[in-house]
Amino acid sequence: MATLELLKYYPVAFATIAGIVGLLVGSFLNVVVYRLPEMMKRAWLQDAREALELPLNDESTFNLAVPNSRCPCCGHAIRPWENIPVISWLVLRAKCSGCYSRISIRYPLVELSAAALTFATAWHFGFGLQAAFAIVMIWGAIALFLIDLDEMLLPDAIVMPGIWIGLTAAYLGVFTSLQDGFIGAVAGYLLLALPAGVFALLRGRQGMGNGDFKLMALFGAWLGWQALPIILLLSAVSGAIIGTIAVRARGTPYPFGPFIIVGGLMALFYEDELYALYSHVSGVNIGAIF
């Protein structure tokens, strides 16, 4: 405990240690991003077969821990020294030691991003509960960002615990009060759910996934209802610009979750500054209203 207390007085050491932990967690996040959607698909398939009274698939155990990581091309088991964040990728020259197929640069980029964001969070908030909770939010946000980008899916296995952790932080008064966090969770959900429901009634189709509603509830629980307007503004503007470009380029729908996540994280770090900037540019003191 005394050693931990020392970190309060050495912010560089605290941020550096946090960054190293973030690097290790980033390696695990790569596993989560790949395996969690696959686990969900397998569970859905089994549920569907059971509902249709078809024989269940006799599949081997597949979760975040089992089986051990393997090369998707040749099945080569990844040995411990081949799984060191970033370093192994560099030493192996981005190739599998078994079949020499390319290892995506995304793996070290995710690890480095987790390290950098964890370092920045520890540095910004300093030693204490705010940094601890914010780092947890950052790790969850990275996983959700990548999964939604890949699969257009925001797993309840991450989002729902995230809401409860956010409410716990609110109960402890870390970023907001419990009252504001509770209102934020409800308002965040309804803020997107109500217009999406109207759209579905008018157009006869769903225009936004339920996961986006829960994601807004998550940030409302963490940061309070006061942060919701700036999060919605940032996500809507960036989503409209980048999403339109992406749809024209790919011809397919683009997930909205990553824009909510970026807006939420910007509010986590710079909510007051963003409101001040908006007020300066627009002439409307929205920060005073919310």
Which tens digits make up the pLDDT trace of 127-163? 999 999 999 999 999 999 999 999 999 999 999 999 9
> Which of 111, 126, 141 corresponds to the end of one domain?
126
Strand partners, 77: 70
CB neighbourhood size of 145 (10 A): 22
Give the per-residue pLDDT at 254. Answer: 81
Report how far residue 99's alpha carbon sits from residue 120's, in angstroms, rounded to the nearest whole number: 38
Give the per-residue pLDDT at 221. Answer: 98
Domains identified in the chain, total number: 2
Ranges of the chain with pLDDT below 70? 1-5, 207, 246-251, 283-290
Give the per-residue pLDDT at 3. Answer: 63
> Which of 126, 144, 175 corresponds to the end of one domain?
126
Give the per-residue pLDDT at 53. Answer: 79
Whether residue 234 is found in the same domain as residue 149: yes
Whether residue 54 is found in the same domain as residue 135: no
Residue 60, classed as helix, strand or coil, is coil
Whether residue 150 is found in the same domain as residue 103: no
Report how far residue 244's alpha carbon sits from residue 153's, in angstroms, rounded to the nearest whole number: 19
Whether residue 160 is found in the same domain as residue 286: yes
pLDDT digits (tens, 9 = 90+) for 164-212: 999 999 999 999 999 999 999 999 999 999 988 888 888 777 767 789 9
Whether residue 110 is found in the same domain as residue 223: no
DSSP-derived secondary structure for 36-103: HHHHHHHHHHHHHHHHTTPPPP-PPP-SSSSS--B-TTT-PBPPGGG-STTHHHHHTTTB-TTT-PBP
Q: What are phi and psi of 161, to 5 degrees?
A: -60, -35
Provide the residue range defining the domain that includes 245. 128-290
Report how far residue 268's alpha carbon sits from residue 252's, in angstroms, rounded to the nearest whole number: 31
Whether residue 140 is found in the same domain as residue 252: yes
Whether residue 111 is found in the same domain as residue 176: no
> Which of 65, 99, 126 corresponds to the end of one domain?
126
Q: Kindly tell me the sign of the dihedral angle through the C-alpha atoms of 253, 258, 263, 266.
A: negative
Whether residue 247 is found in the same domain as residue 143: yes
Question: Could you tell me the pTM of the whole model?
Answer: 0.91
CA nearest 154: which of 208, 204, 195?
208
250-284 b/e (C-beta count within 10 Å ≥ 16 → b): eeeebbbbbbbbbbbbbbbeebeebbeebeeeeee
